[in-house]
Amino acid sequence: MTDSITISVDAMGGDHAPRAVIHGADLALRERKNIRFIFHGRKEQIDPLLDEFPKLKPASTVRHCEAVIAMDEKPSQALRKGKNVSSMWMAIQAVKDGEADVAISGGNTGALMAMATFCLRPMEGISRPGIAAIWPTLRSDIIVLDMGATIGADARQLVDYAILGSALARSLFDAESPTVGLLNVGTEEVKGLDYIKEAGKILQQASGAGFTYHGFVEGDDIGKGTVDVVVTEGFVGNIALKTAEGTARQVASYLRTALKANWVSMLGAFFASSALNALRRKMDPRTVNGGVFMGLNGIVIKSHGGTDEVGYKSALGLAYEMARSRLIDKIGDTMQRFPVNTAPPELPSDSEAKSA
């Protein structure tokens, strides 16, 4: 890894691409001067935007790709249409070729996972990749995975996610032995589905191999920050993520309404403006934007497709940190401490890879 971090960007991915993507890159460059960007997409749209950001332009390379993957395309269709030619594929290919340290896209999640899995391939010993999210809590930020890469899981895949999540926590939080919990309907060992209980037994025996197994955790433990890494399968994880985002918006709406109810509340809001602004920033989902595709031979970041330039800045910052902290090396180290049997990797089906 050189002093400079190169990020390969699908400039056409997302609801507000390419403007939000380019603007977000400019904001990210202001905070980290040693980033270089490779933008993949329609050159006639990207070049005029780079002209608006004179500091970003010298740090950028544009590679023309005419094909763009639509947000509603099925993963199998996206592979047939966009392999080797789309902006999404070429962003990932740059990582495989060693031209970039990390790839990022705000496009179709299922297509991105299918392409990333096909192009980069799962790491040896990992049955299926997962998507990890950074989750703010009362204690500190934690890792939650899987956020929807695969619908359904077995005990082995939950163990894989524990390995991957603990490696990510070591990269982000500088924790030598992060705590890991399995999301369940209760903390008692007798509760839950059989595959969750089986995974718990495996992790209990392996505790200390790069992580400390805490046991079962419940839904409210996520917000408490009870553990550093919460492991679940993709269906539950995605619902939990969307529920948390919706709740944050609901609370913010209630708060705005209450503060404008009458002149007394508006006066109170004026005097508490500093604290309220801090709360607003803490609850803003754009500040923790970005899901990490875990378990591949390369780093891929999925940005929320509907975010703006602030969200893209956050996702690009996450991409930078993943590359700088040598995430792939840390995953390999954790797997060496706790080896698992290898199995032929499987590509995600259309029903398994859903938009997050």
CATH 3.40.718.10 location in the chain = 133-288
Range with the poorest average pLDDT among 30-39, 294-303, 339-348 = 339-348
Q: What's the pLDDT score for residue 261?
A: 80
CATH 3.40.50.10950 location in the chain = 1-129+295-356
Distances (CA, A) of 83 to 18, 75, 131: 20, 11, 22
Residue 214 one-letter amino acid: H
At residue 279 the predicted structure's pLDDT band, cuts being 50, 70 and 90, is: low
Tokens at residue 81, please?
A: 């249409």
Instruction: Check pLDDT > 80 for residue 349.
Output: no
**Tens digit of each residue's pLDDT (9 = 90 or more) over 227-249:** 999 999 989 988 988 888 788 77
What Rg, from alpha-carbon coordinates, does the chain have? Answer: 20
CB neighbours (10 Å) of residue 342? 12
- Decide: helix, strand or coil at residue 118: helix
* CATH number for the domain formed by residue range(s) 1-129+295-356: 3.40.50.10950
Tokens at residue 9, please?
A: 């960007």
Residue 311 one-letter amino acid: G
The CA-CA-CA angle for residues 23, 282, 305, to 5°, reads 40
Axis crossing angle, helix 273-283 with helix 234-259, rounded to the nearest 10? 160
Q: Per-residue pLDDT averaged across 87-107, rounded?
A: 96
The mean predicted confidence, pLDDT, of the chain is 86
* Winning range, highest mean pLDDT, from 271-285, 304-318, 326-340: 304-318
Contact 294, 131 (CB under 8 A): yes
At residue 282 the predicted structure's pLDDT band, cuts being 50, 70 and 90, is: low
Comparing CA positions, the residue from 189, 204, 155 lying closest to residue 338 is 204
At residue 276 the predicted structure's pLDDT band, cuts being 50, 70 and 90, is: low
Quote the percentage of the chain above a pLDDT of 90.
48
CA distance 95 to 151: 26
Instruction: Check pLDDT > 50 for residue 266.
Output: yes
Domain 133-288 has CATH 3.40.718.10: yes
Comparing CA positions, the residue from 78, 246, 75, 237 lying closest to residue 151 is 237
Tokens at residue 307, please?
A: 């975010």
CA distance 148 to 162: 15
CB neighbours (10 Å) of residue 320? 21
CB neighbours (10 Å) of residue 332? 15
- Decide: helix, strand or coil at residue 134: strand
Those residues whose C-beta lies under 8 Å from the C-beta of residue 329, and which sit 6 or more positions away, are none
**Tens digit of each residue's pLDDT (9 = 90 or more) over 129-161:** 889 988 888 888 899 998 888 788 889 899 999
DSSP-derived secondary structure letter, 279: H
DSSP-derived secondary structure letter, 347: P
CA distance 140 to 288: 12
Instruction: Check pLDDT > 90 for residue 208.
Output: no
Q: What's the pLDDT score for residue 127?
A: 79
Contact 158, 199 (CB under 8 A): yes
Instruction: Check pLDDT > 60 for residue 273.
Output: yes
CA distance 295 to 124: 9
Contact 215, 182 (CB under 8 A): yes
Q: Per-residue pLDDT averaged across 326-354, rounded?
A: 58
CA distance 175 to 107: 32
Contact 211, 177 (CB under 8 A): yes
